[in-house]
Amino acid sequence: MAFKPEKFIEEKIAELKEQVKGKALIACSGGVDSTVAAVLVNRAVGDKLISFFVDTGYMRKNEPQQIKEMLQDKGLNLHFIDAREEFYGALKGIEDPEKKRKIIGEKFIRIFEREANKVNADYLVQGTIAPDWIESGGGLRDTIKSHHNVGGLPKDMKMKLVEPLRDLYKDEVRKVARALGVPVAERQPFPGPGLAIRIMGEATPERADIVREACFIVEDEIDKAVANKEIERPWQYFAVLLPVRTVGVHGDVRAYGNTIAVRAVSSLDAMSADYSKMPHEVLDRISIRITNELKSKVNRVVYDITNKPPATVEWE
Ligand code: XMP
């Protein structure tokens, strides 16, 4: 039977009205899952749902502001938490990818707990969707990378869990998003740990700024190429900052700068992916902009031509 988003929304709101009797909390990332979950619960209980947005310092360029405006525009009772310094501090000196993920996940939970204690809520809303718990239940992916959004909850958590999207798959969530007028339905996926896992090695604030700008340029140029019908929109496209410096020249002066890898892939479900056969003209524009706009920082750009498997989409 075809999935009917309007019917799902109506039934879910009625169910949530019965289920959620007190104050509720949600951590909104601005991604489609948490936004849809927040909007649904907000429709059921109004301002009794408090939505937290945490700026980790590893978000994309302009993203915190845009997400803030979008969530407020949806009528959510929003608490914006600037936790950039806390995250930068927690990741200081950490190079191991799994450690970085664990620290980010834990930091997020600790900040969330701290803020939750101030509000004293009875319910915790999460945007968990079916593949999140299916994949985290000891499946193959779980052993490859620890999932950021599942499994990190404190064992003694007093709040009752509310997961309105638990039985939905991504395409169904997107349909619900469209029906709710949530404008995030077409965004490319973005990993929970954010830009921290696109900085190989230590994710310092300075390196976060470099990869943030490079990611912005990759997105901007690819979006323009899509709009000009030069290419189909890849599933995901971004920049990665490598932990090696290489020699270059600026004018006739020797430079020793960072290397950016550009990644663009097509995929159906992220379980496997093909690297995008990007026209050289598009790669050229990306490379020129990155090395111009990050002149003193980056002097080499490479393109990742690996499929998944054997590589993963992200580099960490
Ligand atoms: P990989 O790198 O495993 O990525 O091939 C597959 C897809 O998952 C995204 N990804 C994550 N998403 N939390 C998330 O919510 C994470 O920790 C995480 N790690 C990877 C990745 O961007 C790609 O779309």
DSSP assignment string, 134-189: HHTTT-HHHHHS--SSSS-S-TT--SEEE-TTTT--HHHHHHHHHHHT-TTTTPPP
pLDDT tens-digit profile, the chain (316 residues): 799 999 999 999 999 999 999 999 999 988 889 999 999 999 999 999 999 999 999 999 999 999 999 999 999 999 999 999 999 999 999 999 999 999 998 998 889 888 888 988 999 999 999 887 776 554 444 443 444 444 456 666 788 999 999 999 988 999 999 999 998 656 688 898 999 999 999 999 999 999 999 999 999 999 999 999 999 999 999 999 999 999 999 888 899 999 999 999 999 988 999 999 999 999 999 999 999 999 999 999 999 999 999 999 999 9
Domain that holds residue 46: 5-180
Q: Which residues of 232-243 are buried (b: 16+ CB within 10 A; e: fewer)?
A: ebbbbbbbbbbe
What the block records as the tokens of 104 is: 């980010």
Residue 105 located in a structural domain = yes
Which protein residues are within 6 Å of ligand 1, measured from CB? 145, 147-149, 189, 191-193, 236, 270, 308, 312-314
How many angstroms separate the alpha carbon of residue 64 from the centre of ligand 1? Answer: 20
pLDDT the model gives residue 137: 56
pLDDT the model gives residue 134: 74
Is the preceding peptide bond at 309 cis, omega within 30 degrees of 0?
yes
* Statement to judge: residues 63 and 144 lie in one domain: yes
Nearest CA to ligand 1 atom 21: 191
Other C-beta atoms closer than 10 Å to the C-beta of 253 total 7
Q: What are the C-alpha distances in Å from 295 to residues 100, 250, 284, 299?
A: 28, 9, 16, 7
Nearest CA to ligand 1 atom 20: 191
* Statement to judge: residues 120 and 214 lie in one domain: no
* Statement to judge: residues 159 and 219 lie in one domain: no
pTM of the model: 0.87
pLDDT the model gives residue 154: 61
Residue 193 located in a structural domain = no
pLDDT the model gives residue 116: 86
Pocket test for ligand 1, best of 28, 29, 35, 145 (most atoms within 8 A of CB): 145
Q: How many residues does the chain have?
A: 316
Q: What are the C-alpha distances in Å from 236 to residues 43, 47, 133, 136?
A: 31, 35, 22, 22
In the chain, how many domains are there? 2
Last residue of a domain, one of 147, 180, 213: 180
pLDDT the model gives residue 31: 85
Reduced to 3 states (helix: H, G, I; strand: E, B; else coil), residue 233 is coil
CATH of the domain at 292: 3.30.300.10
CATH of the domain at 48: 3.40.50.620
* Statement to judge: residues 116 and 86 lie in one domain: yes
* Statement to judge: residues 205 and 146 lie in one domain: no
* Statement to judge: residues 65 and 107 lie in one domain: yes
Pocket test for ligand 1, best of 276, 314, 315, 316 (most atoms within 8 A of CB): 314
pLDDT the model gives residue 281: 98
